[in-house]
Amino acid sequence: MKNELPPGQQIVGPGKWPLVGERESLPQPDTWNLKLTQRDQLVAEWTLEQLKQLPTTEITVDIHCVTRWSKLGATFTGVALKTVLDEAGITETLPFVSFVAHSARQHSTSLKLPEVIDETVLAWAVDGQPLTAEHGGPLRNIVPSRYFYKSVKWLKRIDLLDSDRLGYWEAEAGYHNQADPWKEERYLAPDLDRRQARALLESRNFAGRDLRGLRAENLDLSALNAEGALLRDSHFEHAKLTGANFRGANLSNAHFANATLVGADFSGADLEGADLSGADLREAVFTDASFFGASFFTEDLQSTKIDKMSLSESQLAALTDQQSDWVRRRWHEE
């Protein structure tokens, strides 16, 4: 709990707690149970009673909803995620975790497991009272450091995953996948509301638009049209951008680490300061693109794939010596 409000938030009245999103779960069974899977294999299952017999924990958190209300100082009782994983004998920390609800639309949300493994609590009570059904009873996960959409009501399953699976709001409404309220990570693009963000994703048409700072990590945007778009400092880490059209786009300081960019067209694009390390750039076209300060490799991301001679001598000359040596060495090996 911090004694401050994140940017753009306002406090709800005392004792108030707005209801957001789904209002009810699917019909609840007599005995609630929670499943844990790892790489799609069921590894453990607990009834609520069994969970309550594990060492319990209490956390006092400030709730920050992406729709700009905050409720300060709610005390949740439950069991730490870490305790549950230990109990299940999980020794490996996979990269992602998805929390899945017992709800009509199979509501879910995901996070990077290493970032939240120590703070997440599976809660059954708030301020000394059992969670009501509308607020997620009998069980919801609480992730204190994120907007409240990362805290799923009616938690039924926890999936430990090798690759990310975007949650409901993240995929459907353009909600930011990281959701740090102190960084105001609300929506895909800072200047779009959620309807606009969703329409943008569905259309896969960014042509000519100002989308500076866009957050499109992990998304499948194959065949995207981003011709002439302003995408300075945008995030496409791990995104699938096969065949994307970035002709003439401003991609200065854009983040493409580990993205799939097979056959992407960067003709005439500004890639100054862009990070392309670990990306798959096979068959990508870079005619007349500018690369001053761009990077293709970092010490730990050397898996970049790039066709021989796809960069001209003058483009290579715009890179640091270390970067151009790396590219040449890479070509030499092929």
Ligand X SMILES: Nc1nc2c(c(=O)[nH]1)N[C@H]1C(S)=C(S)[C@@H](COP(=O)(O)O)O[C@H]1N2
Which residues ranging from 20 to 49 are in contact with Mo ion (CB under 5 A)?
Answer: 20
Stretch that binds ligand X, among 26-34, 143-151, 234-242, 277-285 (CB under 6 A): 143-151
CB of 142 to Mo ion, least distance (A): 14
Match 């981003």 to its residue by tokens.
226
Whether 158 and 98 have beta carbons less than 8 Å apart is answered as yes
Show the tokens assigned to 32: 């609630």
Stretch that binds Mo ion, among 65-73, 205-213, 239-247, 293-301 (CB under 5 A): 65-73
CB of 150 to ligand X, least distance (A): 8
CB of 21 to ligand X, least distance (A): 2
Among residues 189, 228, 183, the alpha carbon closest in space to that of 205 is found at: 228
Which residue of 46, 76, 124, 148 would you call a contact of ligand X, by CB under 6 A? Answer: 148
50: Cβ–Cβ under 8 A, 6 or more apart, which residues?
A: none
Q: Does 194 bind ligand X (CB under 6 A)?
A: no
Q: Does 136 bind ligand X (CB under 6 A)?
A: yes
User: Cα separation of 170 and 219, whole Å?
Assistant: 10
Q: Does 65 bind Mo ion (CB under 5 A)?
A: yes
| 82 CB neighbour count, 10 Å cutoff | 15
φ, ψ of residue 301 in degrees (nearest 5): -120, 85
Which residues face 72 on adjacent strands? none
Q: Does 149 bind Mo ion (CB under 5 A)?
A: yes
Among residues 67, 66, 70, 57, the alpha carbon closest in space to that of 141 is found at: 57
Stretch that binds Mo ion, among 73-81, 90-98, 145-153, 289-297 (CB under 5 A): 145-153
Buried b (16+ CB within 10 A) or exposed e, 184-218: ebbbbbeebebeebbebbeebebbebebbebbbbb
Task: Choose among ligand X, Mo ion, none what residue 156 binds, the Cβ cut-off being 5 to 8 Å by kind.
Answer: none
298 burial type by CB count under 10 A (0-12 exposed, 13-18 middle, 19+ buried): middle
CB of 207 to Mo ion, least distance (A): 31
**Where are the alpha helices (H) located in 220-267, listed in sequence order?**
none
From residue 1 to residue 20, the character string flagging contacts with ligand X as x (rule: CB under 6 A) and all else as - is ----------------xxxx
Task: Choose among Mo ion, ligand X, none what residue 124 binds, the Cβ cut-off being 5 to 8 Å by kind.
Answer: none
CB of 330 to ligand X, least distance (A): 44
Task: Choose among Mo ion, ligand X, none what residue 215 binds, the Cβ cut-off being 5 to 8 Å by kind.
Answer: none
Q: How far is CA 251 from CA 62, 108, 126, in A?
A: 37, 32, 46
Q: Does 12 bind Mo ion (CB under 5 A)?
A: no
CB of 215 to ligand X, least distance (A): 17
Which residue of 22, 62, 265, 272 would you call a contact of ligand X, by CB under 6 A? Answer: 22
Q: Does 214 bind Mo ion (CB under 5 A)?
A: no
Where along the sequence are the contacts to ligand X (CB under 6 A)?
17-22, 65, 101, 103, 107, 135-136, 148-149, 151-154, 169
Where along the sequence are the contacts to Mo ion (CB under 5 A)?
20, 65-66, 149
